Amino acid sequence: MDKLIIKKTQSLQGRVEISSAKNATLPIMAATLLVDGQSSFKKLPQLQDVKTTIALLENLGAKCSGDYNSFKVDTSQINNLVAPYDLVRKMRASILVLGPLLSRFGEATVSLPGGCAIGTRPIDIHLDGLKEMGASIDLEDGYVKASCAKLKGAHIKLKFPSVGATENLVMAATLADGVTRIQNAAREPEIVDLCQFLIQRGAKIKGEGSSVIEIEGVSKLQTVNEHYQIISDRIVALTYIMAALITNSEIIVENTNYKDYEAVIELLRKSGAKFELNQNSVKVLSHQKLSPLHFETTPYPGIPTDAQAQLMALALTIEGESVIKESIFENRFMHVPELVRMGAKIKLEGNKAIIRGGTPLKAAPVMCTDLRASAALVLAGLIAEGETTINRIYHLDRGYENIEGKFQKLGVQINRVKEN
Ligand code: UD1
């Protein structure tokens, strides 16, 4: 298992280019299953989760070719409708093949993803929606077995705006008979991108980005020759923005759209952070003393849960008491005990973390527990006195492309140590 060794860094400088969003890439790659033919992409992010998705699509019979800069998926010869446990356990987002397989082929069997470090993460909202569209669903031997000769449009009201459920249901509805209306839909930019991909191929979708999405089923999606460019990763961008703020440095974050994370920019500005916001980049400027952060994570357009751990790392440098409430996942404070090992003063009260910032951190061996928690440890490593060793970085590799290379370019002394 590889580890990262990171030294305290006085300040960062230069530019960092943000790659395509993992959370848009995974559903869009699942959506290729709706196309009877080829889909092509430019600049897929080089991530472990993308590799797992390619393995999953190939396992279903898709033919994948090219490299990350120009990638093709041909789904005209799908010959297996089972997503096996071995692949699903590596990546929960594998559940996203359920909607498209069921919609195009009338059946699908997908291993139940199970819980993960940040919570139990049920899929009841996905399954209830599919049932409303006429699917029969059985849970057998750890698998979801779904079938329906032809899904039917339905009016579905989600009990929570789940990102994955919204994506699965939009994809299922794309080839269903009639109109599907999803109320209380999730509004994340990655969902808008998925809808754009589908619309370009002939899907009839309205309202993406709002809380009511309407999909009129079509009989077939067309192949489009143009390479699809997936949106930039707002969470990765925010991680580098936080790296600059935590070290009070000026850097330019390129290929990013701040409008995808305006709530965070507003929170940071209120705290005293300064930015130059451009159409395709964000310049983080140096700042005077920041004031403590008080926020709650909520569905888009609120503060994303995926940025909570990184914001907490920033709060460690701010004198006074910051309070963070995690409202999306019940157990998303796995980074706290690791940060405490580095000297952080954080108290947990249920889903609230109370951070007493301003205490200097000391390097320590720490362990990644999940993707975003790991990003917080890298950020803490930037300011901790000494040399921080971050173990189990396979979590980071799921969602951050070439993290050590990008930080090295910004002037950080960070190295990957490969271990068999
Ligand atoms: C997606 C993102 C993840 C992000 C999360 C919330 C991807 C690949 N992953 O995950 O990075 O942290 O959105 O922004 O895009 N829930 C249920 N029943 C369901 C589905 C969800 O109770 O059927 C609950 C979950 O347990 C969780 C909450 O709803 O507490 C949010 O989950 P959801 O929005 O579905 O997240 P994901 O799509 O899994």
Single-letter residue type at 219 = S
Distance (Å) from CA 186 to ligand 1 centroid: 10
pLDDT in tens, 191-201: 999 999 999 99
Distance (Å) from CA 15 to ligand 1 centroid: 32
Residue 271 and residue 159 in one domain: no
Share of the chain above pLDDT 90, in %: 95
Look at ligand 1, atom 7, and give the residue with the nearest C-alpha. 23
pLDDT in tens, 201-259: 999 999 999 999 999 999 999 999 999 999 999 999 999 999 999 999 999 999 999 99
Q: Band of the pLDDT at 22, cuts 50, 70, 90?
A: very high
Q: Band of the pLDDT at 121, cuts 50, 70, 90?
A: confident
Ligand 1 atom nearest the C-alpha of 128 is 23
Mutate-to-test residue for ligand 1 from 47, 130, 139, 163, highest number of ligand atoms within 8 A of CB: 163
Token digits of residue 345: 């003063």
Residue 62 and residue 122 in one domain: yes
**Across the chain, what does the average pLDDT equal?**
96
pLDDT at 419: 80
For residue 229, report the phi and psi dihedrals to the nearest 5 degrees: -105, 115
Candidates 152, 42, 24, 178; CA nearest to 96 is: 24
Q: Is the pLDDT of residue 119 over 70?
A: no
Could you tell me the CA-to-CA distances from 271 to 106, 143, 177 in Å, in that order? 52, 47, 50
Distance (Å) from CA 48 to ligand 1 centroid: 19
Residue 205 and residue 68 in one domain: yes
Candidates 402, 309, 334; CA nearest to 19 is: 402
Indicate which CATH number applies to the domain containing 188: 3.65.10.10
Distance (Å) from CA 331 to ligand 1 centroid: 13
Ligand 1 atom nearest the C-alpha of 125 is 23
Q: Which residues line ligand 1 (CB under 6 A)?
A: 23, 26, 93, 119, 121-126, 160, 162-165, 304-306, 328-329
Look at ligand 1, atom 39, and give the residue with the nearest C-alpha. 164
pLDDT in tens, 297-312: 999 999 999 999 999 9
Residue 185 and residue 252 in one domain: no
Distance (Å) from CA 166 to ligand 1 centroid: 10
Give the residue-averaged pLDDT of 261-289: 98
Ranking 17-26, 110-119, 334-343, 369-378 by mean pLDDT, the lowest is: 110-119
Token digits of residue 265: 């920019």
Residue 256 and residue 394 in one domain: yes
Ligand 1 atom nearest the C-alpha of 328 is 30
Token digits of residue 209: 């980005």
Q: What interhelical angle do 163-174 and 22-31 show, nearest 10?
A: 30
Which of 199, 229, 259 is at the close of a domain?
229
pLDDT in tens, 53-99: 999 999 999 999 999 999 999 999 999 999 999 999 999 999 999 99
Candidates 32, 29, 64, 35; CA nearest to 49 is: 29
Ligand 1 atom nearest the C-alpha of 22 is 8
Give the residue-averaged pLDDT of 18-24: 98
pLDDT at 379: 98
Distance (Å) from CA 399 to ligand 1 centroid: 16
Mutate-to-test residue for ligand 1 from 53, 116, 131, 160, highest number of ligand atoms within 8 A of CB: 160
Residue 195 and residue 128 in one domain: yes
The boundaries of the domain holding residue 110 are 22-229
Residue 73 and residue 121 in one domain: yes
Q: Is the pLDDT of residue 116 over 90?
A: no
Residue 142 and residue 189 in one domain: yes
Share of the chain above pLDDT 70, in %: 99
Which of 162, 195, 229 is at the close of a domain?
229
For residue 153, report the phi and psi dihedrals to the nearest 5 degrees: -55, 145
Residue 258 and residue 406 in one domain: yes
Q: What interhelical angle do 163-174 and 189-200 show, nearest 10?
A: 10
Ligand 1 atom nearest the C-alpha of 371 is 11
Residue 107 and residue 236 in one domain: no
Q: Which residues contact 349 (CB under 8 A, 6 or more apart)?
A: none
Q: Is the pLDDT of residue 118 over 70?
A: no
Distance (Å) from CA 231 to ligand 1 centroid: 19
pTM value is 0.97
Mutate-to-test residue for ligand 1 from 53, 156, 230, 328, highest number of ligand atoms within 8 A of CB: 328
pLDDT in tens, 379-397: 999 999 999 999 999 999 9
Rounded distance between C-alpha atoms, residue 416 and residue 393, angstroms: 9
Q: What is the dihedral of CA 313, 319, 324, 330, to 10 degrees?
A: 50
Residue 212 and residue 308 in one domain: no
Catalytic (active-site) positions: 116
Look at ligand 1, atom 25, and give the residue with the nearest C-alpha. 121
Could you tell me the CA-to-CA distances from 124 to 70, 144, 153, 338, 360 in Å, in that order? 36, 11, 19, 32, 44
For residue 21, report the phi and psi dihedrals to the nearest 5 degrees: -75, 125
- For 34-124, where are the E strands, in sequence order? 38-42, 63-67, 70-74, 82-83, 107-111
Residue 11 and residue 66 in one domain: no
pLDDT at 1: 83
How many domains in the chain? 2
Which of 196, 229, 262 is at the close of a domain?
229
